[in-house]
Amino acid sequence: MEHMIIGSSVRHYEEVGSTNDLALELAAAGAAEGTVVRADAQTAGRGRIGRSWNSGRGKGLYLTVILRPRLEPAALGLLSLAAGEAVRCALASVCGLEGRIKWPNDVLVSGRKIAGVLMESRTGSSGVEYIVLGIGINTDWELADREGDFRVPPTGISLETDAPAQTELLFTGLLAELDRIYRDICSGRTGGLVADVSSALDRQGRSATLSLPDRRVSGILEGITPDGGLILATESGQEIFHSGELDYEKKS
Ligand code: BTN
């Protein structure tokens, strides 16, 4: 991992509660930018909006990256997009899988969720002090693993490729992709990321509903803005969102 920011130091554990929780602790204690916390299993894996993340041994790649970006607040939303895009690129190059991005950073293969991202930040008096980007990718799954109460139907690499997931290659490929995209963002070259995510954006031109804490907004999913916001054409005109969870309307 020489010369890379992401993965400059990798801490690999057999089992932790949550790699995000451990990364937050390490970052608070001064861990360097690019430090990666990886675990073979998590006993308290966390998903977005308070959900849990199934984290059994052999079933997934679970990792969190510590970042200390010196970016304008508007560029921070791009980091969340970057993680999903890095996963999409690594799945393509290592596993030959074509992924789509469900805004902002879920990765879907054949319409099923194969990876998710949980980005968390801590701010101080001078702005964002550090960010942790937690990534979970479903690897060696059996059909029975798809059963359960999932908001988006899930899948795993082995189910999509009919072969064991090459988890170690995927790990190094993912770090390389994230390193490339992160360097671009930090040096202001964000156009490529936005263009790549736009062309892989799932449900573009189709109807979608965004759940916000206080309301649900439906419209046609038109694309993303240069800072990674979601553009929805609603009854009251074009609206841009920087947070929320997309629920696809089943009829579309
Ligand atoms: C989501 O789609 O809801 C986000 C899932 C994020 C899961 C990963 S697994 C590694 C890291 N540690 C956690 O506790 N969560 C993230």
* 154: DSSP letter: B
Say if ligand 1 is within 6 A of residue 45 CB. yes
**How far, CA to CA in Å, does 188 sit from each of 32, 82, 178, 192?**
22, 13, 15, 10
What pLDDT is recorded for position 228? 95
Say if ligand 1 is within 6 A of residue 106 CB. yes
Q: Is 82 helix (H, G, I), strand (E, B) or coil?
A: helix
Letter for the amino acid at 188? G
Q: How far apart are CA 71 and CA 150, in angstroms?
A: 35
Atom of ligand 1 lying closest to residue 44 CA:
14
What pLDDT is recorded for position 153? 95
Q: What pairing do the DSSP bridges indicate for beta strands 207-211 and 216-224?
A: antiparallel
- Is the pLDDT assigned to residue 85 strictly greater than 60? yes
Average pLDDT over residues 39-43: 98
Angle at 119 between CA 115 and CA 120, to 5 degrees: 150
Query: What's the CA-to-centroid distance between 52 and ligand 1, angstroms?
Result: 8
For the stretch 211-229, pLDDT in tens is 999 999 999 999 999 999 9
Confidence of residue 249 (pLDDT cuts 50, 70, 90): low
Kindly tell me the sign of the dihedral angle through the C-alpha atoms of 88, 139, 52, 12.
negative
For the stretch 105-120, pLDDT in tens is 999 999 999 999 999 9
Give me the chain's average pLDDT, please: 94
Beta strands in the chain (DSSP E): 10-16, 36-42, 60-67, 100-102, 106-109, 112-124, 127-138, 207-211, 216-224, 230-234, 237-241, 245-247
3-state secondary structure 175-211: HHHHHHHHHHHHCCCCHHHHHHHHHCECCCCCEEEEE
Q: What is the CA radius of gyration of the chain?
A: 17
Closest among 231, 224, 239 to 191, alpha carbons compared? 224
For the stretch 181-209, pLDDT in tens is 999 999 999 999 999 999 999 999 999 99
Query: What's the CA-to-centroid distance between 87 and ligand 1, angstroms?
Result: 13
- Is the pLDDT assigned to residue 252 strictly greater than 50? no
Confidence of residue 2 (pLDDT cuts 50, 70, 90): low
For the stretch 139-164, pLDDT in tens is 999 999 999 888 899 999 999 999 99
Q: Which residue from 11, 36, 62, 150 has its CB within 8 A of the most atoms of ligand 1, so it is best to mutate?
A: 62
* 18: DSSP letter: -
What pLDDT is recorded for position 3? 79
Residue having the nearest C-alpha atom to atom 3 of ligand 1: 47
Say if ligand 1 is within 6 A of residue 138 CB. no
For the stretch 43-79, pLDDT in tens is 999 999 899 999 999 999 999 999 999 888 888 889 9
